[in-house]
Amino acid sequence: MLRKVSLAVLLPLCMLTLYLVLVIGEYLFENEQVRVELAQRQSALIKQQLFRMQNVVQSAESSQDVDRIEQEVSLAGLDSNTMVYILVDAESRIRFANHTVWRDSNAIQVIDGFDAVRHQAVVQAFLPQILVNFERLTIQAYYPVLPKYSGTIDLIYLESDLAPLALEASSKLQQRFIRIWGIGGLLLIGFTLMLYFLIIRPLQILSQAAKHVGTPAFSASIPWSLAEVLSLQSSLQQAHQRLERTVKQLNDSELRWLFAVESSRNGIWDWDIRTGEVFLSDRWKEMIGYAPDELAGVFQTWETRLHPDDRHSVLDGLQEYVSGKSKEFESVHRLLHRDGHYVWVLDRGMLVDWDPQGRPTRMIGIHVNVSESAKNHAAIAELVDQSVAGRKMLPDIFMARLSQFLIEGNSGGQWGALFLVEIDTLGLVATLSSHELERLMTQVIARLTSYFTENVIITQLESGAFVLLAKDLAMDVAVAARRSLAIASELRQVIARPFHYGNHHFELSSNVGICLLDSIETLDPALVMYRAELAVLNAKQTDQAGCAFYHSEMDLHQSRDKQLLRELLATLKTEGLTLMFQPVMNGNSELVSAEVLIRWYRADGEYIPPAELVALAEQGGVIAELDLWVAKQVCLFIQQSAHQGRWLPILTLNISTFSFGQGSLSIHLLRSLRSMGLLPINWVLNSARRHY
């Protein structure tokens, strides 16, 4: 609705609203301040009055001059704002009052605002209390008096009316603000008129002129205004002049474009994505045997003439480009001719327009007839084969290329690098069939081959594993390492972009192992692949961020792991491991149970930490044997203790989660328990393997 409101109405309305809000807010604030100041001033006067009355009462009681108290109360009652003025004793009985009818009455019964509890609190603390009630516009004062003897006056109570004073102050404030409103209103009207003639009216003239920019009816004459508005007028006149020149150039370009299209003999199409309307040039229609006025300009005219074998792949490629999943649309496919046969065309298209939300709205392209000779047919067949397989290379061919690169090296002395990429396919196996998984991997390698240059050779080793050979990275090893790391990061980012396969949506993660290749050193291809495998194993560790370089320490670590695994297998057969029992106590320092822990001391005395031992057994595939060995040793210990008459607490074992995945573990464990006569027995199996 605000889009249709004129600035001549909206601006004064906003200014008036803002002015009223400020003035009313100031009035309410000052009115509240006046009431607060009035209450403070009256409270101070009442306090002085009651202080004087306190002295009078104490003096009169000392001299037993009751008439003096009567006179003082009568004088205080002459104040028209004083509603209640009484002197009460400890039982709240009124001894003196500004109204005679209240005397000898109980103050609680005759005075509405009197509070006996507050009376006692003030007397006991001997501290006066003056209360302001802004809702009732009254002031209540409790002022203690030190009694001379029992039954005499101990409190002065006063209640004063603020309403007349507040009404008078509010009336003066209103009169002052009425004068301010009047003067401010006149200034506001004058300021609004100035804005209208300086800004609003010139903008109205420019708005009307903007509707005719580029036409002979354009006129933007403003006699005088602000510098910014005059600058806008000048810019609008310049835009009018540029638009006139642009229209002329556009007309000339259209004539040249029509001539170029007719000369190239290529078909032109222009697709309005929102409406489905398509402009088809005369040459486009001629390619499939139709006259200029024989085909409807709709998307279905092209879609229904696609060859059935090409239809799915072409439409998928178009959808991927329109949705932004691919960077270009180029397709070689067949279209149905009017005579019933199919013709091969090369179709290229490009998005040229988007709506404010970024959605594509227009796409233009060309059709080139490529089926006129046997040579073109052969080229088309090659293009179709490449569209399926990409630049995928068989592993043996890749190894031959790698061997050639390692033997011949690089005459320029530049470093290369071998990248081994492993994709996590664990979640894909449960979702896709083997055929679908292979098709998805084909999409992965197609994306990689389209992303990287010819300087990078790519092949698929197996499902989810790819290897890349990058040549001519740099002559300096540090620069080559940085570029290799950049390529590895790009690899992971390219693979991480979503894949769409059928109704599935996949986001893949990968790890990359890097092996730098010196042009001087000649290595065996199998050794290079082995080093890349070590690097990718290291890349899977949490502190490597998915990328790792090969270094010589990996060979030493791998050799140590193999040696330790062989020793572990031998130790299990010779029972060379050690068991320890860690007591578990309750809050009363009583033994509840004992946790069985395993320790390994090698023959040379080296101690293998439990975490390294468990990881080694899991990676070597012998964790179930290790868990079963521990269980058997515990069973033997329990059996021996029973024969010797020793009491044992509950013993708990730590079983690896990998062992639970093997059904044979529970069978062998129960068999051992039965053979030793230990069933039934309470066993606690703890899957937290890190507690070894």
- What is the DSSP track for 547-558? EEE--THHHHHH
Strands, DSSP E only, in 547-630? 547-549, 578-585, 591-601, 607-608
Query: Worst-scoring range by mean pLDDT, 20-24, 37-41, 404-408, 660-664?
Result: 660-664
For 168, the 3-state DSSP assignment is: helix
Strand ranges inside 283-336, DSSP E:
329-336
Selected residue with higher pLDDT from 308 and 534: 308
State residue 248's pLDDT score: 77
Rounded mean pLDDT, 160-189: 83
Asked whether residue 102 carries a pLDDT value surpassing 80, the answer given is yes
SS3 459: strand
Q: Does the pLDDT at position 658 exceed 70? A: no
Round to whole Å and give the CA distance between 644 and 52: 102
The highest-confidence range among 357-366, 374-383, 617-626, by mean pLDDT, is: 357-366
State the Cα–Cα distance between residues 299 and 277, nearest whole angstrom.
6
Q: Distances from the Cα of 300 to the Cαs of 276, 277, 282, 664, in angstroms?
A: 8, 9, 17, 62
Q: Where in the chain is the domain with CATH 3.30.450.20?
A: 9-169, 265-387
pLDDT over 70 (residue 579): yes
Question: Residues 9-30: what's their mean pLDDT?
Answer: 83
* pLDDT bracket for residue 141 (50, 70, 90): very high
- Rounded to an integer, the average pLDDT of 443-456 is 66
In 196-226, which ranges are continuous DSSP H helix?
A: 201-210
With a cut of 70, say whether residue 557 has pLDDT above it.
no
Helix (H, G, I), strand (E, B) or coil at 473: strand
Burial class (CB in 10 A: 0-12, 13-18, 19+), 582: exposed
Dist CA 215 CA 539 (whole Å): 67
Nearest to 472 by CA among 453, 446, 488, 449: 453
pLDDT tens-digit profile of 477-526? 877 887 788 788 888 888 887 776 656 677 788 889 998 887 666 777 87
| Chain segment 330-343, per-residue pLDDT in tens | 676 788 999 988 88
d(CA 84, CA 314) in angstroms, rounded, equals: 99
Residue 107 to residue 130: CA distance in whole angstroms: 18
Mean pLDDT computed over 272-299: 88
SS3 content of the chain, % helix, strand, coil (to 5): 55, 20, 25
In the block, residue with structure tokens 């001087």: 520
Q: Distances from the Cα of 455 to the Cαs of 452, 469, 484, in angstroms?
A: 8, 8, 13
The answer to whether 155 touches 143, Cβ cutoff 8 Å, is yes
Q: How far apart are CA 328 and CA 212, in angstroms?
A: 39
Instruction: State yes or no: pLDDT of 52 exceeds 80.
Output: yes
Asked if the model's pLDDT at residue 207 lies above 60, the reply is yes
Alpha-carbon torsion, ordered 515, 518, 521, 527, to 10 deg: 10
Query: Is it true that domain 265-387 has CATH number 3.30.200.20?
Result: no
Residue 257: the pLDDT is 64
What's the number of CA atoms in the CB half-sphere (13 Å) around residue 114?
25
- Ranges 32-41, 588-597, 653-662: which has the least confidence: 653-662
Query: Has residue 172 got a pLDDT over 80?
Result: yes
pLDDT tops 50 at residue 682? no
Angstrom distance (rounded) from CA 336 to CA 344: 9
The single-letter code of the amino acid at 236 is L
**What are the angstrom distances between the C-alpha of 479 and each of 315, 419, 518, 636?**
43, 16, 13, 62
Q: Is the pLDDT of residue 26 over 50?
A: yes
Question: Cα separation of 536 and 530, whole Å?
Answer: 10
Q: Which of 604, 593, 481 is nearest to 548 (CA)?
A: 481
What integer pLDDT is reported at residue 419 of this predicted model?
92
The per-residue pLDDT for 641 is: 84
The region of weakest confidence among 186-190, 277-281, 529-533, 602-606 is 602-606
For residue 422, what is the enclosing H or E element? Answer: strand 415-423
Domain 390-551, what architecture? 2-Layer Sandwich (3.30)
Q: pLDDT digit string (tens) for 621-635? A: 677 788 888 888 888
Instruction: Give me 301's structure tokens.
Output: 């005219």
* pLDDT in the model for residue 392: 42
Q: Give whole-number Cα distances, 103 to 83, 94, 147, 310, 675, in Å.
A: 15, 5, 19, 113, 108
The pTM of the full predicted model, rounded to 2 decimals, is 0.34
What's the chain's average pLDDT? 77
CATH 3.30.70.270 location in the chain: 390-551
CATH of domain 558-691: 3.20.20.450
Residue span(s) of the chain under CATH 3.20.20.450 come to 558-691
- The predicted pLDDT at position 483 comes to 79
Distance CA 278, CA 347 (A): 15
User: Containing H/E element for 86?
Assistant: strand 82-88
Amino acid at 23: V
- Residue 275 predicted with pLDDT over 70: yes
Highest mean pLDDT among 353-367, 413-427, 455-469, 623-637: 353-367
pLDDT at residue 689 tops 50: no
Distance separating alpha carbons of residues 406 and 411, to the nearest angstrom = 12
* In the predicted structure, residue 299 carries a pLDDT above the cut 60: yes
In our burial notation (b when 16+ CB lie closer than 10 A, e otherwise), range 663-678 reads: eebeebbeebbeeeeb
Which CATH superfamily does the domain covering 9-169 fall into? PAS domain (3.30.450.20)
Distance CA(131)–CA(43), nearest Å, equals 8
* Calpha distance 489→541 (Å, rounded): 16
Q: Which residues make Cβ contacts (< 8 Å) with residue 86, sequence separation at least 6?
A: 94, 96, 97, 98, 102, 107, 111, 156, 157, 158
Query: CB atoms < 10 A from the CB of 123, how many?
Result: 18
